[in-house]
């Protein structure tokens, strides 16, 4: 029987310091804490051995946190362990998230030797004032050094993370960030708008009633930045293949496409999410809860119920419509054994008549105008 494709996510929740806007499960840790976490992680991965023979690993993603904070031999060990358990696709995409200020030539060479072939660098902005305001640990110069070292180490697939709609940010500053980064010619650029999440220092300072103090760009400027990003990066050979992700041809993130196309993925580590055999399950994000959760992860997966057909259909629409490829009637039929429910046909017809979706060759996707109101559109695919 042919093996099924699998994506693997490994969460490494360690950072030099907490950025002021960050609500991920992450934070600083000493070497003992990191070593203890790695022991639990290793056991958690091992506990899924029983299902390993039916899968072939197509992608691995080390996320966090800042995976480049841990000693590189941990990355080597984790990849060796995965390889001992799973068959790997010949051209498996193996990504590691890293932050400038935490990389050096030796680490990068070790990652390459271990098989890491894609690097995702968190830059966010080229402006020192913006980096400082976000609580980032690095300067633009640090980023440039890391980028050059990564190229020298042989990384031919690099993503750079950027952030727009920052406090006091002008269109001119955002353009400068985009232009400077595109001139370096990374294969992939992710560009997200800042959002102020509860539980972050930003929220404490500026949340609820105090948001005005942050001097955030208004909705109109935020959308103008978003539109400019597509236009400018398009002129530089990047195409937007998901709401916030841009790639040179052939460099779309295969790992993230697994998420958006409801492929199978398993997540190991604190706060990691999985979608396996139609079941959604996750580890808790609290540090204290992970030891117990890591020991019971496999049993919890076994005991979980597959999501309902209704939930799966809604997710298929929400996630698929985030991508430029959109959704397909044929895919839907294959996955659910039926055509779109009447409600979807009605909504899609209305959206098409309003120029909010486009269709061709059996595929349907959001237009630029549709993306601008995507929150409202996607809610229309909640089934009655």
Binding positions for ligand SF4, rule: CB under 6 A: 15, 18-19, 22, 24, 26, 64-66, 99, 122
Least distance from ligand SF4 to the Cβ atom of residue 213, Å? 21
For ligand SF4, the closer CB: 22 or 45? 22
Give the nearest distance from C-beta 52 to ligand SF4 in angstroms: 29
Beta carbon nearer to ligand SF4, 99 or 245: 99
Nearer to ligand SF4, 177 or 323 (CB): 177
Output 137 or 144, the one with its CB closest to ligand SF4. 137
Tell the smallest beta-carbon distance from residue 285 to ligand SF4 (Å). Answer: 12
Residue closer to ligand SF4, measured from CB, 14 or 275: 14
Closest approach of Cβ 102 to ligand SF4, in Å? 9
Residue by residue, DSSP assigns 29-70 as: --HHHHHHHHHHHHHHHHHTHHHHTTEEEEEEEEEES-GGGS
**Minimum distance from residue 20 beta carbon to ligand SF4 (Å):** 9
CA distance 371 to 375: 8
Task: Tell me the three state secondary structure of residue 237.
Answer: coil
Nearer to ligand SF4, 22 or 313 (CB): 22
In a 3-state reduction of DSSP, which class is residue 332? helix
Least Å distance between CB 71 and ligand SF4? 17
Tokens of 16: 């030099």
Which class for 109: exposed (0-12), middle (13-18), buried (19 or more C-beta within 10 A)?
middle
What is the residue-wise DSSP string for 267-330? EESTT-EEEETTEEEE--S-GGGHHHHHHHHHHHHHHPPPPPHHHHHHHHHHHHTTBSS-EEHH
């Amino acid at each position: 029987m042919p093996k099924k494709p699998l994506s693997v996510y490994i969460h490494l929740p360690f950072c030099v310091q907490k950025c002021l806007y960050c609500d991920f499960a992450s934070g600083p840790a000493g070497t003992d804490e990191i070593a203890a976490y790695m022991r639990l992680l290793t056991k958690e991965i091992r506990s899924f051995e029983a299902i390993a023979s039916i899968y072939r690993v197509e992608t691995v993603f080390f996320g966090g946190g800042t995976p480049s904070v841990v000693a590189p031999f941990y990355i080597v060990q984790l990849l060796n362990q995965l390889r001992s358990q799973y068959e790997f696709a010949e051209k498996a995409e193996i990504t590691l998230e890293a932050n400038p200020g935490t990389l050096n030539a030796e680490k990068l060479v070790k990652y390459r030797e271990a098989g890491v072939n894609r690097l995702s660098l968190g830059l966010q902005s080229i402006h020192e004032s913006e980096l400082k305001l976000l609580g980032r640990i690095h300067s633009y110069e640090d980023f440039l050094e890391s980028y050059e070292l990564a190229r020298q180490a042989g990384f031919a697939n690099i993503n750079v993370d950027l952030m727009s709609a920052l406090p006091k940010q002008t269109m001119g500053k955002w353009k400068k960030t985009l232009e400077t980064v595109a001139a370096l010619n990374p294969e992939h650029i992710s560009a997200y708008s800042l959002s102020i999440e509860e539980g972050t220092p930003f929220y404490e300072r500026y949340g609820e009633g105090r948001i005005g103090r942050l001097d955030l760009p208004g909705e109109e400027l935020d959308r103008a930045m978003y539109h400019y990003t597509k236009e400018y990066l398009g002129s530089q050979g990047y195409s937007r293949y998901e709401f916030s992700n841009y790639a040179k041809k052939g460099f779309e993130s295969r790992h993230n496409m697994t998420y958006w196309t409801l492929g199978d993925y398993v997540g190991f580590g604190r706060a990691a999410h999985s979608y396996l055999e139609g079941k959604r399950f996750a580890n808790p994000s609290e540090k204290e809860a992970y030891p117990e959760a890591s020991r019971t992860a496999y049993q919890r997966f076994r005991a979980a119920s597959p999501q309902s057909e209704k939930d799966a259909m809604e997710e298929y629409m929400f996630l698929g419509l985030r991508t430029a490829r959109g959704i397909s009637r044929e895919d839907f039929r294959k996955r659910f054994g039926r055509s779109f429910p009447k409600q979807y046909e009605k909504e899609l017809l209305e959206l098409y008549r309003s120029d909010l979706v486009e269709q061709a060759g059996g595929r349907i996707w959001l237009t630029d105008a549709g993306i601008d109101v995507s929150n409202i559109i996607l809610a229309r695919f909640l089934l009655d």
